[in-house]
Amino acid sequence: MIKQLPGPSRLVLYTKDIELILGCSNRTARRLMQKIKIVSGKTNDQYVTIEEFSEVTGIDEGMVREMMN
């Protein structure tokens, strides 16, 4: 049985989420998404998780999940 985590039901972030969390433009969000993928060793077709976003930006994972609700 899978334990339900507090916060959003999804694990991944999209550029629109980054825009809303940081209050930045779409272009800035796309640049940050690309940076996260490079740091995490991901290809362009792979998703970025909330955990990876938190590690790169230094923003607490719990705060990110709160902002996504």
- Degrees, nearest 5: CA angle 65-68-69: 95
Which residue is it, tokens 């550029």? 15
DSSP annotation of 31: H
For helices 15-22 and 26-40, give the axis angle rounded to 10 degrees.
110
**pLDDT band with cut points at 50, 70 and 90 for residue 69:** confident
Q: How do the domains of the chain map onto residue ranges?
A: 12-68
4-18, 23-37, 53-67: which has the minimum mean pLDDT?
4-18
**pLDDT band with cut points at 50, 70 and 90 for residue 9:** confident
Q: What is the mean pLDDT of residues 12-19?
A: 95
The alpha carbon of 68 is separated from its chain's Cα centroid by a whole number of angstroms, namely 10
